[in-house]
């Protein structure tokens, strides 16, 4: 038999979800307006969206763009961040560029990007890529900068070239920090995915959501919010599990304070 305390800590997140839905339900019943459907109505709309062929194609389109934007963003940002962390020259070259891009909401660039690249996949994927890049660059940079000099010296004494040291010492050494950046990047990819589709309506999960909004199908709007939110939690939890497996060797100080898994 499971101890009561452990059972409680397992049930706690579930209780929180149920509680939230109950408040929603009560609030919606109390307000009784069309624009705020009850939790039950919204939940009832979820399966109908997920079984609709058209909607599924839209959602898969979104996920494809998100996956490509995230993958390319990570593939470019990790090497860049690591090089910035190890070379003052590279860091001073890219730093002003990043400082300018950092505070600009990536969705604000959408109109210009659309002007140049149209409203198709390329523009939206580019915005996702931009959203992912900054946290990954920043954390890779931090991780590479913190690599112990003596570890690199030990590698050099074994005969590792500068390139080998970068790939075989700096990269694994910075991995816990890099993955922290990737985790933030993954959530940002989802956020920029929806915002890009909000601006360039053509396909995608964001498109379903805002079309339903235009047509006053508020239960669909709320159902889409639930679906997107669930995707976010799912991705984050899966990534966190993957991250833990990858950096099991690392000191506990790299553990994150908040985790959904």
Partner 1 sequence: MKAVPLRQEIPAEAGRADSRAQAAAMIEIEGVSQTFQTSGRQNHLALSNISLSIADGAFVSILGPSGCGKSTLLYIVGGFVNPTEGVAKVKGRAITGPGPDRGPVFQEFALFPWKSVLGNVMYGPRQQGVKTAEAEAQSRRLIEMVGLKGFENFYPKELSGGMKQRVALARTLAYHPAVLLMDEPFGALDAHTRTRLQNDLLNIWERDRKTVLFVTHSVEEAVFLSDKVVVMTRAPGRIKEIVDIDLPRPRRRAELLLDPRYQKYVVDIERMIDDTGEDGLPP
Q: Which residues bind partner 1 (CB under 8 A)?
A: 148, 150-151, 153-154, 156-160, 169, 172-173, 175, 247-251
Half-sphere exposure of 241 (CA within 13 A, CB side): 7
Q: Rounded to the nearest whole angstrom, what is the least distance from the CB of residue 251 to partner 1 in the complex?
A: 5
Nearer to partner 1, 4 or 249 (CB): 249
Shortest Cβ 209–partner 1 spacing (Å) = 42
Shortest separation between residue 85's beta carbon and partner 1, angstroms:
17
Q: Is the dihedral of CA 72, 224, 208, 108 positive or negative?
A: negative
Toward partner 1, which CB reaches closer, 152 or 199? 152
C-beta of 158 vs 258, nearer to partner 1: 158
Residue 61, Cβ neighbours under 10 Å: how many?
Answer: 18
CB 162 → partner 1: shortest distance, Å?
Answer: 10
Q: Is 73 exposed, middle or buried (0-12, 13-18, 19+ CB in 10 A)?
A: buried
Shorter beta-carbon distance to partner 1: residue 35 or 164: 164
**Nearest to residue 168, comparing CAs of 149, 150, 155?**
155
| Smallest distance, partner 1 to C-beta of residue 161, A | 10
Nearest to 48 by CA among 169, 212, 233, 261: 212
Instruction: For partner 1, give the closer residue by CB, 119 or 175.
Output: 175
Q: Which is nearer to partner 1, 151 or 233 (CB)?
A: 151
* E strand residue ranges, the chain: none
With beta carbons less than 8 A apart as the criterion, state whether 183 and 5 touch. no
For residue 176, the minimal CB distance to partner 1 (Å) is: 9
Distances (CA, A) of 18 to 11, 14, 219, 257: 11, 6, 19, 24
CA 149 distance to own-chain centroid: 32
Q: How many CB atoms lie within 10 A of CB 184?
A: 17
């Amino acid at each position: 038999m499971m101890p009561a305390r452990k059972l409680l800590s397992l049930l706690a997140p579930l209780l929180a979800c149920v509680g939230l839905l109950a408040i929603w339900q009560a609030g919606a019943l109390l307000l009784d307006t069309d624009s705020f459907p009850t939790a039950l109505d919204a939940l009832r709309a979820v399966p109908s969206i997920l079984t609709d062929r058209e909607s599924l194609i839209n959602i898969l389109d979104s996920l494809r763009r998100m996956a490509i934007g995230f993958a390319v963003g990570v593939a470019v940002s990790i090497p860049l961040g690591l090089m910035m962390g190890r070379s003052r020259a590279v860091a001073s070259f890219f730093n002003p560029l990043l400082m300018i891009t950092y505070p600009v909401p990536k969705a604000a660039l959408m109109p210009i990007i659309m002007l140049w690249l149209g409203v198709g996949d390329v523009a939206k994927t580019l915005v996702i890529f931009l959203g992912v890049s900054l946290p990954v660059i920043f954390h890779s940079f931090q991780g590479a900068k913190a690599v112990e000099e003596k570890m690199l010296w030990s590698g050099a004494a074994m005969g590792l070239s500068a390139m080998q040291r970068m790939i075989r010492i700096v990269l694994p050494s910075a991995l816990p920090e890099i993955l922290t950046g990737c985790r933030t990047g993954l959530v940002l990819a989802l956020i920029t995915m929806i915002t890009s589709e909000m601006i360039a309506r053509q396909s995608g999960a964001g498109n379903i959501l805002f079309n339903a909004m235009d047509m006053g199908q508020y239960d669909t709007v709320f159902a889409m919010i639930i679906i997107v939110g669930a995707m976010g939690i799912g991705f984050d939890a899966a990534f966190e599990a993957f991250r833990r497996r990858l950096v099991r060797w690392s000191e506990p100080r790299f553990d994150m304070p908040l985790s959904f898994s």
